[in-house]
């Protein structure tokens, strides 16, 4: 067994499989070493389990990934490639809407609003692009 307990191997196998799906969907090639590592994890997960099924893990492996719909300012900043301070300015200026969750202190940016904000941005060229 390469990583210890069979359940750890099973979780690693699922994570590697999901990562491979993401690589393919993003147009990247999957390195053969990654495929070999997944196979080794599957073997480690099933080794010595006397027929114990990994069906629950495989259902997770084959499920569609959950996409977060509400983002904290820090995650919105990562998506936009800017600082958290700049995201807060966009919100204060009304350019980027936010929602409140229950109490007034929990504020999030909806992923759909972030996508709409990005979509409405227009490319700059010439002298304006050299900032």
Whether 77 maps to a domain, the answer reads: yes
Average pLDDT over residues 83-97: 96
- Whether residues 15 and 56 share a domain: the answer is yes
- Whether residues 75 and 91 share a domain: the answer is yes
Whether 43 maps to a domain, the answer reads: yes
Alpha carbon distance 20, 39 (integer Å): 13
Report pTM.
0.50
- Whether residues 55 and 10 share a domain: the answer is yes
Domain assignment of residue 19, given as a range: 6-62
* pLDDT at residue 50 greater than cutoff 50: no
* pLDDT at residue 1 greater than cutoff 50: no
State the pLDDT at residue 7.
Answer: 72
Q: What is the tens place of the pLDDT at every residue in 7-40?
A: 777 778 888 888 888 888 888 899 999 999 988 8
Q: Is residue 107 a contact partner of residue 100, using CB atoms and an 8 Å limit?
A: yes
Q: What is the tens place of the pLDDT at every residue in 110-130?
A: 999 999 999 999 887 766 665
Task: Give the H or E element holding residue 6.
Answer: helix 6-25
């Amino acid at each position: 067994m390469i990583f210890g307990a069979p359940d750890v191997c099973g979780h690693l196998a699922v994570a590697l499989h999901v990562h491979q799906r993401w690589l393919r969907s993003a147009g990247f090639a999957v390195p053969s070493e990654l495929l070999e590592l997944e196979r080794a994890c599957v073997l480690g997960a099933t080794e010595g389990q006397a027929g114990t099924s990994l069906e629950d893990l495989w259902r997770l492996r084959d499920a569609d990934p959950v996409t977060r719909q509400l983002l904290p300012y820090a995650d919105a900043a990562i998506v936009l490639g800017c600082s958290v301070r700049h995201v807060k300015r966009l919100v204060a200026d009304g350019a980027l809407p936010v929602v409140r969750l229950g109490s007034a202190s929990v504020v999030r940016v909806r992923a759909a609003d972030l996508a709409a904000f990005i979509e409405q941005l227009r490319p700059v060229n010439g002298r304006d692009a050299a900032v």
